[in-house]
Structure 1
Amino acid sequence: MNSTPTHKPRPMVDLMVSVILPSFILMKMSGEDKLGVSGGLVAALAFPLGWGVFELIKYKKFNFIALLGLVSVLLTGSIGLFELDNQWLAIKEAAIPALIGIGVWLSTFTRYPLVRALFFNASIMDVDTIKQKLEENHSTAQFERQLMKATYFIVASFAFSATMNYILAKWIVTSPAGTEAFNEELGQMTLYSYPMIAIPSMIMMMSIFYYLWRSIHKATGLKLEELLQKK
C-alpha cells in the first residue's frame, strides 16, 4: 500500500512559483510581441494554480489557506480576462483577509474560538498540565481574558491586511483590465504586497503567539519545553 509522501515546507519554492515567476510574466511577457495580454495573464495564473493543485494531489492534505489562495487566483484571472472594472480587484484583495478576520471574530461567540483551536490544543500543547497549573494558581479566568485579547489582536492583523491590500491595489493598479499595463501593474502589486503587507502581518502573528506563550508562562510558571506536548 502506497503511503502519502511527507510534506516539507518549502517557502523559497513557494515564493518563486507563486510570486516571482507570475510577477515576471505579467510585467515582462504580456506584450503583444510576446504572450499577449490574455496569454500573459493565463500563463502567470497557471503557476500558483498548478502548484496548489499539485501539492493537494501529491500530499492529499486539505489546506484552507491554500484554498483561499486558489480562489484569489481565479478571481484575479476573471477580472483580467473578462476586463471588469479594476475597482473589483481592490475589493477582492481586501475581501479575503477581511472575511478571515470576520471568521476569527465570529468564532469568539462559539465554544471554540479559533485561537484556542489553532494554538491551545492537545496536539501542540500539554493542555491537561496547563489546565491543572492554571487551577492551582487560580489564574484560569485571567488566562481566558488573555486568550480573548490575543484573538482580537489577530482580528486587528487581518483588518490591517485588508486595508493595506485595498490601498495597494487602488494605488498601483490604475489601468483598465485586459490591457498590457494592467498586467504589469498587477505584477508590481504582487511583488510589493510581500514587503508592505505579508512581512508586517507575519511579524504581527509571531508577536501574538509570543504574547500567548508569555501569558501561559506567567499564569502557570511552566517553561516552554513543559508547555509543549511530548512526542
Structure 2
Amino acid sequence: MTSPNTTSVPDHKPRPWVDLLVSIIIPSVILMKFSGDQYLGSVNALILGLAFPLSWGLFELIRYGKKNFIALLGLVSVALTGGIGLLELDAGWLAVKEAAIPAIIGLAVLVSTRTKYPLVRTLLYNPNVLDVGKIHGALEEKDCVGQFEERLLKASYFFAGTFLFSSIMNYVLARWIVVSPSGTQAFNEELGRMTLVSYPMIAIPSMVMMMLIFYYLWRTIRRLTGFTLEEVMAPHLAEKE
C-alpha cells in the first residue's frame, strides 16, 4: 500500500509544439518586434525574451525531475546568452557560446564510450524504449554480443557527429546573422532571427540524424536477433499498440 505522504513524479509527456512556442517562437517575436525604445527597450526585451525558455526549462526540471546533463547545459546556454547581451560583450562571444554547448555534449558522448554507461545506450538502447533483456538474451544465444557492442560503439560515434554538426552550424549562423554590438536593439533582433533560423537549419536536421541512428541500431538488432520491431519494443509500449 502506498503511503499518503509519498510523492510521485508525474509522467513526462513530450509536448513538442509547446516547446517550440515557448522556447523558439515567443522569444524570437519579443526580440525582433519589441526591442525598440518605443516598446520594451533592448535590455527589457532581452530579459523577457530569454525568461521564457529559462522558466520553461526550470519548470521541466523541477516538475518532472529531469535533472540531466543536457538539460543543465540548456539552462546554462540561455543564461550565457543573457549575460553576453546584458554585459554588452563582443558579439563574437555569442558564436563561441553557440558552438561550445553542442561541442561539450558531443565530447561527453565520446567520453561516455569509455565508461560503463555510453550515452547512446542510456538514450536509445534502454528499457524504456526496447526490451533490453530479451534482446541481450537472443544476442547471447546467437553469440553476437561482441558484434552488437561494436555497432553500438559506431552508433555512439554517429551520435557525437550530430553534435559536431550542430556546433559548426551554430557558429556559422551566429557569425553570419548576429553582427551588431550586444546590448543594442539590432543585436536583439538578430538574436531573435538566429533563433528562428536555427530550428529549420539545425534542430530539424539533427532530429533526422537521430532517427537515422535509431534506425541503424534497430537494423542491427533485427539482423543479429531476427526479431521484428514489435517483438523487441519495451513491454509498456507494446501494450499500448
Cα distance, 1:27 vs structure 2 = 0.6
Question: How many residues were matched structurally?
Answer: 231
Alpha-carbon distance in structure 2 between the residues aligned to 1:34 and 1:200: 35
Q: Which residue of 1 aligns with 2:84?
A: 79
Give the match for residue 137 of structure 2.
132
* In the alignment, structure 1 residue 23 sits paired with structure 2 residue 28: yes
**Residues 12-36 of structure 1 deviation map (CA, whole Å, 9 limit, x = unaligned):** 1111111111101111100011111
Matches within 5 A, 1:172-191: 172-191=177-196
1:46 aligns with 2:51: yes
- Quote the Cα distance in structure 2 between the aligned partners of 1:42 and 1:169: 19
Distance 1:31 1:168, change over 3 A: same
Q: With the length of structure 2 as denominator, give the TM-score of the two structures.
A: 0.90
Q: Distance in 2 between matches of 1:209 and 1:224?
A: 12
| CA displacement, residues 161-218 of structure 1 (integer Å, 9 cap, x when unaligned) | 0000000000000001011110000000000000000000000000000110010010
151, 158, 176: which is aligned to 2:156?
Answer: 151
- Worse overlay, 116-125 or 36-45: 116-125
The separation in 2 between residues aligned to 1:23 and 1:123, in whole angstroms, is 34
Q: Is the 8 A contact 2:70 2:105 kept in 1?
A: no
Checking the alignment, whether the CA contact within 8 Å between 2:109 and 2:118 is kept in structure 1 is yes
59-68 vs 44-53, which deviates more?
Answer: 59-68
- Partner of 2:46, secondary structure, is helix
Match of 1:69 among 64, 74, 78: 74
Report what 2:16 is aligned to.
11
Tell me, which stretches of 5 or more residues in structure 2 are unaligned? 237-241
Q: Distance in 2 between matches of 1:52 and 1:18?
A: 9
> Does residue 114 of the first structure (1) align with residue 119 of the second (2)?
yes
Matched residues in 2 for 1:218 and 1:107: separation?
26
What TM-score do you get using the length of structure 1 for normalisation?
A: 0.94
Instruction: Verify the 8 A CA contact 2:35 2:45 in the aligned structure 1.
Output: yes
Secondary structure of the 2:235 match is: coil
1:24 partner amino acid:
V
Number of the residue aligned with 2:147:
142
Identity %: 63
Q: 2:77 is matched by which residue type in structure 1? A: S
* 1:108-154 Cα distance to aligned partner (Å, 9 max, x none): 11222221222223343222322222123232222111111111101
Distance 1:131 1:87 in 2: 48
* Counterpart residue identity of residue 22, structure 1: P
For 1:154, the aligned partner's letter is F
Q: Which moved more, 1:91-100 or 1:44-53?
A: 44-53
Change (3 A) 1:54 1:135: closer
What is the CA–CA distance in structure 2 between the aligned matches of 1:119 and 1:39, rounded to whole Å? 40
Q: How many angstroms does 1:4 deviate by?
A: 4.2
Report the equivalent of 1:210. 215
- What CA distance in whole angstroms lies between the structure 1 residues aligned with 2:41 and 2:115? 50
Q: Whole-Å Cα distance in 2 between the matches of residues 144 and 154 of structure 1? A: 15
